Amino acid sequence: MKIVLCCAGGFSTTMLMDSMKNTIKKSEKLKEEDFKFIAIPVDILESEVEGCDAVVVGPQIAHKLDYIKSIIDPHEIPYVVVDKETYGKMDGATVLKKVLIERKKADMKK
């Protein structure tokens, strides 16, 4: 599963990505080799949409959601907008759970 994390510059999102990776490492059900993460500035999302299974949107760029959806909707890629509190805590477990739920919902629509 390829998960793309978008923010303004890709820096703080890298910390969230690391937290999500740690959640997978500690999990008895999830396998590291089943996941690929990439943290990017939102401006290059279009170049990373190929093969993407879910997009995580940092709260600092939530105002760009229409732009993001214009890129991912044609590909039927689900997304999660992380709230400020979860982002501030760098709570990768909560974000990963939301991503997996949205991906499952998208798969059920097919």
Q: What residues contact 89, with CB distance under 8 A and at least 6 apart?
A: none
How far is 11 from 8, CA to CA, in rounded Å?
A: 8
Q: What is the pTM of this model?
A: 0.95
Give the CA distances from residue 66 to residues 13, 79, 89, 92, in Å, rounded to whole numbers and listed in that order: 20, 12, 26, 24
pLDDT for 12: 80
Residue with tokens 């990439």: 38
- In CATH terms, the fold of domain 2-109 is Rossmann fold (3.40.50)
Q: Between vectors from CA 68 to CA 109 and to CA 74, what angle results, nearest 5°?
A: 40
Residue 67 CB partners (closer than 8 Å, separation 6+) = 42
Question: What backbone torsions phi and psi does residue 69 show, to the nearest 5 degrees?
Answer: -65, -30
Each residue's pLDDT tens digit in the chain (110 positions)? 999 999 987 678 889 999 999 999 999 999 999 999 999 999 999 999 999 999 999 999 999 999 999 999 999 999 999 999 999 999 999 999 999 999 999 999 87
Single-letter code of the amino acid located at 74: P
pLDDT score of 10: 64
